[in-house]
Chains A and B, each alone.
Chain A
Amino acid sequence: GENVEQHPSTLSVQEGDSAVIKCTYSDSASNYFPWYKQELGKRPQLIIDIRSNVGEKKDQRIAVTLNKTAKHFSLHITETQPEDSAVYFCAASPNTDKLIFGTGTRLQVFP
C-alpha cells in the first residue's frame, strides 16, 4: 500500500524566514496531495492541495510543488509568522477517496 514519509519532524525558524517541509510517497498511482495544519487538540485544516496534473500551486504565503517522477512534494511557507506554529501533515491519495498521512512536522516560529 501507499507509504508517505515526511521530513523534518521538527522545524524551528525565525519570524519572517521561510520554512520547507518535504514528503515522499511510494504509490505512483496517487493523484491528490493535500497539506494540513493541526493545532493541539483540533481537527486538521486543509491549507493547500495539489493534483497530479499540476506541478506547482501557490496561495499567498503558501506554495506546494510536486515532482511526480521523483514521487515527492514539498510545502513552502514564506514570511513565517508566530501563528504559523503548528503541526503540519502531508498526505497522498492512492485512489479517489483514501488518504495516507505523513508522520507530521512540528513547526515553531520564534518572534
Chain B
Amino acid sequence: GAVVSQHPSWVICKSGTSVKIECRSLDFQATTMFWYRQFPKQSLMLMATSNEGSKATYEQGVEKDKFLINHASLTLSTLTVTSAHPEDSSFYICSATGLRGYNEQFFGPGTRLTVL
C-alpha cells in the first residue's frame, strides 16, 4: 500500500510555456499533499502544502501565481508551472499523507522539468 505516482516523469518545454504535473495517491486517500523542488545536489525544499478542496499554503518565497496548485480530490493534486523559464528547471517531487493518520509522507517518483 501507500503508492504515489507522478506524471509525467520528465518533461522538456520551451521558455514561456506552462507545464502541468500530476500527483496521485493510488491506493489511499491523501488528506494532504506536498510539493517539493530539488535542485541538483541540494535538499528537498518544500514549496507548498495542499488539502483537498482548499487553497494551497505556500512557503515563504514561493510565487503562488507562478506555481499553481490544485487539489481537486483526495487522490489527485496538480502543480502547474506557468510561464516557465530556464531557472525553473528542477526535479519536482510530490508526497502525500493520510494513510497512518499523520506525519509519515509517501513520495512520488518525481518529475524532471527542463526549460529550454
Contact = CB atoms under 8 A, between A and B. Distances in A.
Interface of A: 1, 31-32, 34, 41-46, 49, 51, 89, 93, 96-104
Given A42-B110, A43-B109, A100 B46 contact: yes
Contact of B104 (A1, A34, A43, A103): A34
Contacts of A31: 103
Interface of B: 32, 34, 42-46, 49, 60, 91, 93, 95, 97, 102-105, 107-110, 112
Contact of B46 (A32, A46, A99): A99
A102 to B, nearest CB: 7
Of the candidates A34, A42, A44, the one having the most CB atoms from chain B within 10 angstroms of its own CB is: A44
A46 B4 CA distance: 14
A43 B43 contact: no
Contacts of A41: 91, 110, 112
Given A43-B109, A97-B102, 19 more contacts: A34-B104, A34-B105, A41-B91, A41-B110, A41-B112, A42-B110, A43-B110, A44-B44, A44-B107, A46-B104, A93-B103, A97-B32, A99-B95, A100-B46, A101-B43, A101-B44, A101-B46, A103-B42, A104-B43
Contact of A49 (B42, B45, B102, B104): B104
Contacts of B34: 97-99
A2 to B, nearest CB: 10
A41 to B, nearest CB: 7
Nearest to A44: B107
A105 to B, nearest CB: 10
B43 A89 contact: yes
Question: Closest 3 CB pairs between A and B?
Answer: A32-B103, A43-B107, A96-B102
A51 B107 CA distance: 20
Nearest to A32: B103
A104 B91 CA distance: 16
Given A89-B44, A98-B46, A43 B93 contact: yes
